Chains A and B, each alone.
Chain A
């Protein structure tokens, strides 16, 4: 089965920089919480909070922000002028 990105007018091919930015945003968002050596430490403390604990807490609004940005970028992948015309009952453009 071929995928959307193999189609001749693929949104990924049409917007390489935006697509790369989306991929990097999502990958970074996962990496910086998956790779524990980055934050498994006590210092620097924030008030009385060890680094490990406040890092995780601060990470959540950051995730929200990163994903919000991702959605904004994904919207740019759509070709606005063609959007209403191609979006039908059976299938729309990539969103």
Chain B
């Protein structure tokens, strides 16, 4: 394992250097007169068309979650891992319901973050603070997941695992991280948008090649599914239960269908509540760009389904299974090892670079989104209300660095048996914004204090429940589902239902007692507005974000 293949290493480093160059150069792409404005640094000038938005949002979807975490869960537990496939199907019809409304109202009022919308809609600084805090908190484990993904690839490459010194051991990860931090600082959202082009080209190539080639090497799809089925139906001597499920079961005990559906639904509602996906959405030029992307993005999900199947290929290939076992059974290594055993070094290099860059792009967008939240909704709101656009941008640049360090701590502290739990933990928290965000986009019925109390209840339940999940290898934070009424259910979904019930009941009470509701600065027609419905074609390079400032 300590042996580093020169060809693989050279190709990965070369592609990494290329991407770094593009990241720094991106700052000049379609450059506006003044980069020191959050619409520019944080939203790429609000001028991205259908194609760039597709790459950018695809970059949010296609992360280390897809390449490392999902196949790891499929490798370790079987069909339950395919909830991610159901989730990436469901997410688009769900998002189509509310996302265009969020885009419109944000464009009209110049909102940069989801918490900006909450502040405008409910006239409540407290509620906006809750939204900002939740957004930043939820992004930490999600960014951490990206780091775990990069780490898995580096480990299989044999980079940085030989030393016992923690710092030396993690040095390559830290270098990759610093480079990411640097170009995010300089280029803002333009950097990940541009790198996404390169990343997706790499990924499309290696996934399509792999999905057709690997089955011919290891005995066809019949053997792959057969091996997976045999494996998951056999009994694990340690636990006395099957290793997993090949098809979600509906048995009275150990049913996974409910778990599967609740994880998929919870994740689907959560995705477009995350600040980074909202950042990608708000950077779109027009309302129709957002809508069209809901039609085109499912083609991305097809690849996600194929990548999930890499988990089964890793089971079907004895050499890959043996390597994973030798590495302490770390399922995160399934995809990197599979590629190492199946492909010549030069192709491994392309694939590994693809995964690493595929983790860096979303990490950059997430850091920008979290930084915008901090600047707009905490720093400006509570500490410096008269902050100039320039100061706000500088603050965001620095905050993006701090966020990344926070994520690094998450990556080191939490158990990594199934890194997918990092994302699901983030999901539990971000889902608690659903009543105020999705609810708020359609109705002003909810009372601000009811929403705040509901949020608090959901956050408290979700965090405590997730903390209490234990496994044979970890005493806390070991999973994302718990048992409710005899069914295993995604904690995030249970928590948001509690949240909603509290919000509804308290709204009725507060309305009856006539507690002041706060001022709503939005108007109904603004939720369907497209300020550019009457197109006056603007030349490329002109900042388009000024319509509502």
State the A residues within 8 Å of B (CB). 1-4, 7, 26, 29-30, 33-37, 40-42, 47-50, 52-53, 56-57, 59-61, 63-64, 66-68, 70-71, 74, 83-84, 87-95
Contacts and interface: CB of A to CB of B under 8 A. Distances in A.
B260 A87 contact: no
Contact of A36 (B261, B288, B298): B261
Interface residues of B, number: 59
A57 B525 CA distance: 38
Nearest to B301: A60
25 contacts: A1-B443, A3-B443, A4-B525, A40-B247, A40-B248, A40-B249, A40-B260, A49-B221, A49-B225, A50-B247, A52-B82, A56-B89, A60-B305, A63-B89, A64-B295, A67-B295, A70-B93, A70-B96, A83-B533, A87-B530, A87-B533, A91-B108, A91-B525, A91-B526, A92-B530
Contacts of B443: 1, 3
Interface of B: 79, 82, 85-86, 89-90, 92-94, 96-97, 100, 108, 220-222, 225, 246-250, 257-258, 260-261, 264-265, 287-288, 291-292, 294-296, 298-299, 301-302, 305-306, 309, 442-445, 520, 523-531, 533-534, 547
Given A36-B248, A87-B534, A57 B257 contact: no
B89 A90 contact: no
A95 B533 contact: yes
3 residue pairs, one from A and one from B, having the closest CB atoms: A1-B444, A87-B533, A48-B222
Contacts of A74: 291
Contact of B520 (A1, A3, A89): A1
A68 B524 contact: no
Contacts of B260: 36, 40
A11 to B, nearest CB: 9
B225 A53 contact: yes
B526 A90 contact: yes
A30 to B, nearest CB: 5
A10 to B, nearest CB: 11
A34 B91 CA distance: 11
B93 A66 contact: yes
B549 to A, nearest CB: 13
B291 A30 contact: no
Given A1-B444, A92-B529, A56 B524 contact: no
Nearest to B288: A95
Contacts of A95: 100, 287-288, 528, 530, 533
A64 B299 contact: yes
B86 A33 contact: yes
A3 B524 contact: yes
Contact of B296 (A1, A64, A91): A64
A82 B190 CA distance: 37
Nearest to A2: B524
B307 to A, nearest CB: 12
A33 B268 CA distance: 12
Given A57-B85, A60-B298, 7 more contacts: A4-B528, A33-B264, A48-B220, A48-B221, A50-B247, A63-B301, A66-B93
Contacts of A2: 524
A41 B525 CA distance: 46
B292 A1 contact: no
A89 to B, nearest CB: 6
A68 B298 CA distance: 11
Contacts of B292: 71
B529 A63 contact: no
A83 B288 CA distance: 15
B225 A4 contact: no
Contacts of B529: 90-92
